[in-house]
Each structure stands twice: as structure tokens, then as C-alpha cells.
Amino acid sequence: MWNGAFPKGSCWIDKVGGMVEMVTERLRGIAEKTVQYALKQKVSQAQAVAFLLDNALTRFANSQIHQNVAQKIGGVAVKVVLDKRISTVQANTLEEGGIKEAVDQAIKIARASSPNKDFKSLPEPEAWRPVKGAFDKETAECTPNFRAEKVKEAIETAHSKSPKIAAVAGYLCTQSVNYAVANSLGVSAWAELTLSYMKTTVISRDGDSEGFGTAEQYSRRVKDIKPTVLAGDAADKSVRSLHPVKIDPGEYEVVLSPLAVSVLLTYMGFVGFSA
């Protein structure tokens, strides 16, 4: 018989009002009970990662806010080991039925999988400590009005830089994530993280020519995001890109901005690294 460790209903958890520690404790309980259920199904080893993502975004285009959205996504990623046959299934739910189905499905997949001869074992418990500074309460509880004020600063700053500025677009996003991991060897760990990021794109026009400039910033703390700096940088790039000069194909020495380098490395990570 299921012992009621999993909450009923989809709105069982809420981080408003300083309930972050309670969220983490509930996720730890869910991860541990998921492992216990998997072991009752006679698997060799099991691991579960329970998570809750709280994401909010304010988007703007044509120099005005046109979208404000928020979502909470909770789920559990289950890994089971049958001898050396391994499978992982993720369920985007924190409810009992969905988690049990994920465990059962993972077991079916493992039974149909070929053994991984290189597999030794899931991790054993080790000493650990939470990462300091990874969670910021102000970011986790950021309001739409706060994001709107930041967006307003960006739009006004960009237009103040030049009469050639035609439009400002972009977004400001704030996130908080809670994780808890447990396995059948006794691992029990958790993490609380926040992230904020803003991207600003400025469009300029001069006659028939259009210019574009982009700037972005990431931080664990939303108060560290500098919309005026981003907008000023993007506006400067946009105006300077007006009336581009055509050059012949060939090899050129260039100096790339940090943003340009990050794009290259991002695609290298997606496409180039296959380990």
C-alpha cells in the first residue's frame, strides 16, 4: 500500500512567503519515497531527482511590454538499475500516480535494454555542503512590477542615446529552482538556486539602412541586472551598424565581443562535444 508520501493535487507547493525550506524538505521526501517504491519493485539500484522550477518572464517589443508570463514546473527524474541494465525516465509531475508510472516505465525500459558493461554503481554518500550565494530571496519572489520597471529603464535609456533608435525589444526573466536527489545507497542532497537574465535588442534606422545591436546579462541576483548599461551597449552597437560596408569573402583578423564568443562556445557545446 502506498504510504501517502506524495501530495494529492497539482497545487501542493507554494514558495510565496518564505516557504523555500519547506519546498526543499518536501522534494527530499518525494525523492526518497520514489527510491523506496523502486526498490520494492526489485530493482538493483535506484535514484530519483525531484525538482520544482518557478519561472517568470516579462517580454517587450516595439518599445513596450507585450507579455508577462509565469509557470511552475515540478517533476521527478527516475533512474533504475537492473544488474547492469539502466534506464532513466522523467515525469513532469509531483503526484503519486505519475511518479509511480515513471518508475514502472523505467523498469520496463531497463529490462529491454542491453547491459552496460562499464557501469559499476550509482554514487555512494559523500560529505557535501550547499553552495553559498546560489539562492537569492529577492529574485525568487520578484514581482511583475519590478521587472516592468527594469524594462522601462532599458527602453528609455536606449531611446535617449540617439534619435535614430527606432525600437527596443527583449525580455527579463527570473527563475528559482529547487532540487533534491536521493538514491538507494544513501545519497541525500539538495540545492536551491536562482537565476535572472535580461536580453535587450535595439533597432535603429537611418534612411533605408537598419542597424541592430544586442546585449545581455546573467546573474543569480536580479538586483545585479543593469538595464541601463545593457540598453546603452545595445544602442551603441545598433547605431554603429548602420550603413554597413560590403567586404569580399576571405580570412580576416577580428576582435570578438564576449557575447560573440559565448555564441560560438554555445554552439560548440551543442554540436561539437559528443562525450
Alpha carbons 159 and 137: distance in angstroms, whole number: 32
Q: How confident is the model at residue 19, as a pLDDT?
A: 52
Q: Which pairs with CB-CB distance under 8 Å and at least 24 residues apart come from 206-211?
A: 206/164, 206/242, 206/243, 209/242, 209/243, 209/244, 210/166, 210/242, 211/164, 211/237, 211/238, 211/239, 211/240, 211/241, 211/242
Could you report the per-residue pLDDT of 79-124, keeping only the tens digit for each?
A: 999 999 999 999 999 999 999 999 999 999 999 999 999 999 999 9
pTM for the complete prediction? 0.82
Mean pLDDT of the chain: 91
3-state secondary structure (DSSP) of residue 257: coil
Distance spanning both ends of the chain, measured CA to CA: 42
* pLDDT confidence band for 1 (50 / 70 / 90): very low
3-state secondary structure (DSSP) of residue 65: strand
* pLDDT confidence band for 23 (50 / 70 / 90): confident
Q: Give the count of alpha carbons within 13 A of 218, CB side only.
A: 7
Domains of the chain: 20-272 (3.30.2290.10)
Q: Out of 13-17, 36-40, 44-48, which region has the weakest mean confidence (pLDDT)?
A: 13-17
Task: Check residues 246 and 16 and name the one with the higher pLDDT.
Answer: 246
Task: Check residues 238 and 21 and name the one with the higher pLDDT.
Answer: 238
